Each structure stands twice: as C-alpha cells, then as structure tokens.
Amino acid sequence: MRFAIGDTDFLLDGEPHRILSGAIHYFRVHPDLWADRIRKAKLMGLNTIETYVAWNAHAPSPASFSFEDGLDLGRFLDLVAEEGMHAIVRPGPYICAEWTNGGLPYWLFTDGTVGVRRDEPGFLAAVQGYLEHLAPVLVPRQIDQGGPIVLVQVENEYGAYGSDPVYLRKLEAMHRAIGLTVPFTSVDQPMGTMLEDGSLPSLHKTGSFGSRSTSRLERLRQAQPTGPLMCSEFWDGWFDSWGEHHHTTPAAASASDLDDLLAAGGSVNIYMFHGGTNFGFTNGANDKGVYRPIATSYDYDAPLDEAGRPTAKFHAFRSVIERYAPVPALPASMQPGGSGHLSSSGLEARLVPATDVAVRLDRVASLRSLLPALTDWSTHDAPPTFDALGAASGFVLYRTEVDLPSGGVLTVGDEVRDRAIVSVDGTVVGVLEREHHDRAIALPAVTGTLELLVEDQGRVDYGPRIGEPKGLIGGVSVDGVPLARWSASPIALDPVPAAALDVLAAIEPTDGDVLAGPVFAAGSFDLDSADDRYLRLDGFRKGVAWVNGFCLGRYWSRGPQRTLAVPGPVLRSGRNDVVVLELHAAAARTVHLLAEPDLGHTEA
C-alpha cells in the first residue's frame, strides 16, 4: 500500500483518506495493557494510533539502547497493525510530552559542549546514532512495506523553541537516510510565526490546538495553501502539576471543537486518547520563573481514563466521529455506565467485582539503615551534579563533616535542583525547595555529619531550561565559607536492589501507627484476582511507592492526585508486597488498595 499527501487530502492507494488518530504513549502504559487500549481506540471510531518515542527511556546511558518489555516499540506497532489500524510515529528527537527532559537523554549534556535542538555537531551525531537504533524497528513497519506507519514527524513544536532551517534540513535528511520513505510532518501552534519557524517546505505542516478549530485551521491554511488540513495534537484535556487542581475540560465543548475540525475536512490526532501514568521517575516539569513538577498521573482527562475506562468524552467523541466515518458496535461493557473492561477477546465484560484492601506496613527500616545496599559512594572537592554521577533521576545523598560550635547559615550558591532535605547527625533540620527559590537554611551548633538528600523532581521538558543539570548547583557554603571534601552517592531505587528488599523482608513486624522519615515501610496483602487497583496513602506526606517491585512513582500530599495507579499485570493472585519510602513523616502505617482512582479536586 502507498500513503501520500495530495493537493487536498491524504491519499491511501490514491484514494482520499481522513486520519482519525488517538495518542497512546507505549512508555506510559504497562505492555500487557497495550492491546486493550488500542482496541478501545478502534471502538471509539479511530483508524490510527500515534505515539512519541522517548529517546531517554530507550537509552539510559550512551552505551545502552533497549527495546525490552515496556519499551518494545516494535511489539506496540505490531499490535496496532493487528487491529487493522495505522500508526503515526514521532521520534523527536525532542518530544516534550511532559516527560522528563522532553525525551532527551541527560548524558547528552554532561560535558557542557553539546547543543540542544540546534545545528551542532555533537547533538546531531547523537541523534544519528539514535535514529540508526530505531531504523530496524521503524523502516520495515512502514505502510509501503506492509506495516502500519503512515506518517513520521520530524522534531516537535520547533517553532515555539527556535527558527533554524539548517538544523531542520539536516534532521530531515537523517530521517530519510535510515530508510524512512513515508511522508514527513511537522507540528506547531497556529500562533504568530510558529508554523513558519518550525517547519520546512518539504515537511507537511500540521497544527496543535484544543479549541477554536475553525480559526486555527484558517491560520494553518494561510501558512500552507495546499495539502490536507490536520490537527496532529487536538488537546482534549491537560496535564496536572503537583500542588494544582486536576484539570478537566467539558466533554460537550471538546466534542463541539472536534466536530468543527472534522466538518472543515480536517484530519485529527486526539492528544491524548489515553494518557496513562508517569511510572517511576519519568515525569517532566515546567519552569517559567517558578518550577512546577508534573504529577505521576497522566490521565489528561482523556476519552479513556488512566484506569483504561471510557469516559463521557469517549462517548461524546464517538458520536461526533460516526457522523463522518463508520464506527464499530460497542460491546455491552463499553456502553455508557458499563465497566469499561474487556475480555481477552475484546467482546465481553470482565465482571469481577473488586474490593478495597487495607495493607498495614508492619516492617519498617530507616533509609539510613539501608544505605549500604543502596549507595555507591565517591569523593569530591565540591558537590557533583546528578549528571556527573551518572544519575538520570531520583535521589542523590551528599555528605560532609562540619564543625559549627555556634551554628551557621548553609547557602547553596546558585540553585537547588530540585529539593533537598537537610540533616545534621541524622536529625532533619529543614527542606530547601526549588519551587520556593530556597537557597539558605540555618544550621544548629554541631560537630558532625551534614547530609543533604536531594531529589530530582522531574527534568524540565519545555523551554530554554531543557538539558540543565540536577543537584546542588554552584557549590555549598556555611557563613560564606565553601564546604569541601564531599562524599556523594545516587540512591538506587528503580528498581530497589534485591539486597535492600531482603533486609526489609527479614525485619520483624512492629506495632505503631506513625512513621518518622526518611524511612522505608513494607507490608503484604492477598488478592483473589489481579485487576487494576489504586494505591491510596492517606496520612503520608511525600515519597515513592512500589508494588511487587514495580515503581508506581511519586506521591505527595499536596495533590491533586490521591491515588497511584497499580496496573493489573503488576499484581498477582495470592500474596503481594507493597513498599513505601516516606521522606518526612506519616500519621498512619496503613495504605489502601482501592478499586477506583481518585485524581483529586478540580477547578470547578
């Protein structure tokens, strides 16, 4: 089959074709749930699945590149093909996506000489290597080779970042050189000169917007007089940041804008069809003067919620789509008010009622006591960055000895990235937060060990601060005198090393109803069936949680989300284990596995 761009339409084997696409990021969904999410996209009336490719997820270090397990992009695309659907792939190299560092590997920028998203030899050489790794997966899965891929996007909303046609031409040529033959696109907001700055005449321009469809398409047509109109990011919701409300948009209003778009003859990629979850330490952050880390849930108020269930928006969008294209019949479970669950055949409901389960965390060990199993210390004259230590994310512990008979004021030279728990001789003194622009804290009179447990809360994914290092930036001093002779170590948490889990498992259960952190707490629970659940940590303040060794991600009492998604495939019938790292203190030692998620308060 052939896919092409005509004067007015996309052409599938020479015939006009409208793309009805939905975004599913394979790296935000447990791989055993991919088929379910793709099938439900088809049931809403979509004919295409779109996904970014997260370079940094596949390449955690310069010497490694993985397509295993949840990163098996080939398997994901094959599942799309099995449903008889097409695919749009957006390999970036920059993707934004509210994903840590916008998908760019942290190690690209450790020596300070490699450029970011520009015509710079070091950056382009790394991109070339990245694309060569992708070639064996993408090239044979193009539609003209019998696969599902019909479009590939080059870069991502580049007009909002810069205007470098030389960079874009080289990037386009590199994509072609690995064997990609399908049409190439670009995407930008139809505002100002972004459409012109972010594209080339050889890249088919598409728009990104979530409202005012008619006027946005008019601006797109002004920038590109011929060719099919397409919104390749139709924003049907929004992401959440810690400390804000859970974002929602009215289903009727979003459906009306979708109707306007389709009535104008446009093609669409709904961003998101299913958002999924920022498992582990993968969330990004924004910094437009104030640092704002993205929440663990990426529900996005999408047609398919974080739990994989159809929402009112699913049915509203489906009603719009069926005016323009045939849609499959819905099984009973997918009808309004149904459970949203499908059997392996996709045709019948899985009507397994789930009950809430209380889990007492009765095995407790301080973070300090587990450090021998979690650390790999090195010595330095000044606090090194996460990046210099080879830490992509998570936590780094910094130590030095101090002699402060009268106390003093500790100051970080430039910036804390992103949050530091300060302690002396094991007693917490306070917290320095990037969000508050904290750089100084009073220390008591002490002669002993000063520690700063620094958390990367998510690398900036949008704007000029992409690629910045993490840690204690600019050195540390007390009363103006620099502190030297530091020890530093990343804290290995994803996954938690087996040696640390063995220590936790061997601890005798204890009584008590509170936790004083930083502390690990573990407990076990039994299930009759392994269905999706949601971990609620009422009374806990801030930390990270795991179930059966799978890192669910971060929790934070400031919300908005109040539960962490636990994918069914992570669970098992019988005995299961939950581990929590509480950084501060908890007023309870019981967590709950719920049948329903709670994403927090909304603006309304």
Catalytic residue numbers read 157, 233
Q: For residue 248, which amino acid is it?
A: T
Provide the CA 251 distance to its chain's centre, in angstroms. 24
The phi, psi pair for 168, rounded to 5°, reads -65, -40
Distance CA 532, CA 306 (A): 10
What are the CA-CA distances from residue 196 to residues 105, 154, 226 (Å)?
A: 28, 14, 15
The CA distance from 180 to 176, in Å, is: 5
Nearest of 155, 165, 196, 202 to residue 53 by alpha carbon: 155
Closest-CA residue to 581 (of 463, 470, 495): 495
| Euclidean distance between CA atoms 429 and 446, whole angstroms | 12
Classify residue 250 by its DSSP letter. -
Give exposure, 282-319, as e/b (b: 16+ Cβ within 10 Å): bbbbbbeeebbbbbbbbbbbbbbbbbbbbbebbbbbbe
Strands (E), 42-161: 48-52, 86-90, 149-153
Q: How far is it, in rounded angstroms, from Cα 349 to Cα 342?
A: 5
CA neighbours closer than 13 Å in the CB half-sphere of residue 197? 14
Nearest C-alpha neighbor of 50 from the set 6, 74, 82, 85:
85
Helices (H) then strands (E): counts for the chain: 11, 36
Q: Which of 593, 462, 456 is nearest to 531 (CA)?
A: 593
* Token pair belonging to 186: 């670009």
Sign, CA dihedral 98-100-103-109, equals positive
Nearest to 130 by CA among 193, 67, 190: 67
